[in-house]
Amino acid sequence: MKVIVIGGSHGGYESVETIYETMPKNTVVNWYDQGDLDLVVNWSKERVDDAKDVRHMTNEALNKNHINLFSLSKVINIDASKHCIIAKNLVTDEEIVDYYDKLIIATGSDANKLRIPGTNLDRVMTMRGKVGINKVKQQLHNAQIKNVIIVGGGYIGIMAANMFSQAGKQVTLINGSQQILDNYLDDDFIEILMNDLKNHQVDLELSQQVIRINGDTTVASVETNKGEYLADMVLLAVGNKPNTEWLDGIVKLNSKKLIEVDEYMHTDLEDVFAVGDATEVRFTPTNEMKNIALASNAQRQAKTAVANLNSNLQPFYGVQGTSGLVLFDKVFATTGVNSKMIESAELPISSVLVTYDNLMDNVPDSFRTQIRFKLFYSNVDHTIKGAQILADKDFNEIINTISVAIQMRMTIEQLAYADFYFQPQLTNEWNIMNIAAQKALKKTSND
Ligand SMILES: Cc1cc2nc3c(=O)[nH]c(=O)nc-3n(C[C@H](O)[C@H](O)[C@H](O)COP(=O)(O)OP(=O)(O)OC[C@H]3O[C@@H](n4cnc5c(N)ncnc54)[C@H](O)[C@@H]3O)c2cc1C
């Protein structure tokens, strides 16, 4: 069998790796990326001829295993009737026609650009892919850069704010809404994180729209509808859009231009699968198809696609949009729904907020950490629908546990007394998940 994989990042890599691990050894993989695969793929530093996984294989070992790299080759068309793709070598301009038995599209997404003057000035950057991220990281040590303006208060924006602030830069974060992270977290958590940013001298300029970026050849300032801010560098972190323009009219896309896939990762074209940021993904708490751009999703979808290359064997169970981040002194994570989603879709979902120490109060203060935890549950059948956590240390496995609970349609009744271990040196008397579910049960019985 011959499989063509388009895209060398998380979705593409996991597809190739899973083909290598699970398909017959004579399977041929032709692997395309418009970027340089040597840079796009997160190759190990120690690549050897007898490697057991693709990431560690030398080019000779890849060839021996019938994995052929097509770097700097942009796929521009699919002719499904002939089972072929058409790619353009971006160095030579040569067109390549390549035939597949199965095709996996993992073309991902790109950073949104703002349609305002000045985005083409030097040092106006976006952060996408390994290459893009490295370019931004190089600026951390650029002494000419003192004032960094970050536009966008989502995950990427605050991650960058953290990074540049820790590198000693003066960071201003501009966001259109009045809070940061408001698509991910509730106010009870956002306020703490905003204070954390301010305590680390990150200037938050909220509720304002960037209208222009000024400069001669290099950026000098950023203008919003409320003010002007000096800038030696600007990072635009205003969301992402799927790399699917080339597929319009070829593969079925939804209204957000995401590739429509079924539970086996099939597109509407025979023998054509799609995975990753370019696709819609089932969000289990509400059973909707959504745009949730996460590497963790891409990897799981890729494994599923490969499992189903020959026949429908393994459905994709969906995701809860589980994610987490360290921001200066805080660690937070979230899974499933949040209050903003509940309000906008008028979902019958309630929540309880709990703060609880990780250890009992007879343990010295210096060993104890307060955990803030919010649990969301359905008012209709009491199934768990979401959670958020924040602490000074990493307790994010709690969020992974809740993610599984959502997927398995666990109820607050089941979670209230679920079996979590107790050991005085390591835990408090109850697990915070038990406490929250017990509080939710009490609330439902009072309603
Ligand atoms: C700064 C940053 C930090 C992140 N951190 C996390 C994290 O901690 N955890 C997490 O789960 N997610 C994280 N993400 C999100 C994660 O990076 C994406 O969800 C993931 O990369 C998606 O993988 P993908 O393979 O679908 O697509 P992409 O990573 O977008 O890769 C698509 C690839 O396809 C290639 N391509 C596109 N079109 C064509 C074409 N026509 N022909 C040939 N090649 C093409 C591109 O060159 C690219 O290499 C982060 C994102 C950013 C920007």
In the chain, % helix, strand, coil (3-state, to 5) comes to 30, 30, 40
Q: What is the pLDDT of residues 91-100, one digit of tens each?
A: 999 999 999 9
Q: How far is the CA of 195 from the centre of ligand 1 (A)?
A: 31
Q: How far is the CA of 137 from the centre of ligand 1 (A)?
A: 17
Q: Which residue's CA is minimally distant from atom 2 of ligand 1?
A: 156
Nearest CA to ligand 1 atom 25: 11
Top CATH class, 323-446: alpha beta
Q: Does ligand 1 lie within 6 Å of residue 331's CB atom?
A: no
| pLDDT confidence of residue 184 | 95
- Please give the order of strands across the beta sheet that includes 323-327: 323-327, 330-336, 384-391, 370-378, 349-357
Ligand 1 centre to CA of 129 (Å) is: 5
Q: What are phi and psi of 10, to 5 degrees?
A: -60, -50
- How many angstroms does the Cα of residue 210 sit away from the middle of ligand 1? 26
Domain covering 2-110+241-307 assigned CATH 3.50.50.60 in the classification: yes
Distance 9 CA to ligand 1 centre (A): 6
Pocket lining: 296 vs ligand 1, CB cutoff 6 Å: yes
With vertex at residue 403, the alpha carbon angle to CA 401 and CA 406, rounded to the nearest 5 degrees, is: 110
Q: Is 90 in the pocket of ligand 1 (CB under 6 A)?
A: no
Q: What is the mean pLDDT of the chain?
A: 96
Domain with CATH 3.30.390.30 in the chain: 323-446
- Looking up tokens 């536009």 gives 151
Could you tell me if the CB of 152 is within 6 A of ligand 1? no
Looking at residue 34, its pLDDT comes to: 97
For ligand 1, say whether the CB of 150 is within 6 Å of any of its atoms: no
> Could you tell me which of 333, 295, 328, 330 has the C-alpha nearest to residue 164?
328
Distance from C-alpha of 99 to C-alpha of 81, rounded to nearest angstrom: 11
In this prediction, residue 446 carries a pLDDT of: 80
Q: Is 324 in the pocket of ligand 1 (CB under 6 A)?
A: no
Q: Using one digit for the tens of pLDDT, what is the confidence trace for 271-299?
A: 999 999 999 999 999 999 999 999 999 99
- Amino acid (1-letter code) at residue 24: P
Q: How many C-beta atoms lie closer than 10 Å to residue 408's C-beta?
A: 12
What is the model's pLDDT at position 131? Answer: 86
pLDDT at residue number 129: 85
Q: From the CB of 220, is ligand 1 less than 6 Å away? A: no
Task: State the pTM of this model.
Answer: 0.96
For atom 33 of ligand 1, the residue with the nearest CA is: 7
Q: Whose C-alpha lies nearest to ligand 1, atom 39?
A: 107
Q: Whose C-alpha lies nearest to ligand 1, atom 41?
A: 75
Residue 234 near ligand 1, beta carbon < 6 Å: no
For residue 126 and ligand 1, the question of a CB distance below 6 A is answered with: no
Which ranges of the chain have pLDDT less than 70? none
Assigned fold of 113-237: FAD/NAD(P)-binding domain (3.50.50)
Could you tell me if the CB of 277 is within 6 A of ligand 1? yes
Q: What is the pLDDT, as a whole number, of residue 301?
A: 98
Of the residues 243, 248, 261, which should be mutated to test ligand 1's pocket, given the most ligand atoms within 8 Å of the CB?
243
Instruction: Find out whether the beta carbon of 109 lies less than 6 Å from any atom of ligand 1.
Output: yes
Residues carrying CATH 3.50.50.60, the chain: 2-110+241-307, 113-237
User: Strands, E, within 180-218: which ranges?
Assistant: 203-205, 210-215
- Is 40's C-beta closer than 6 angstroms to any atom of ligand 1? yes
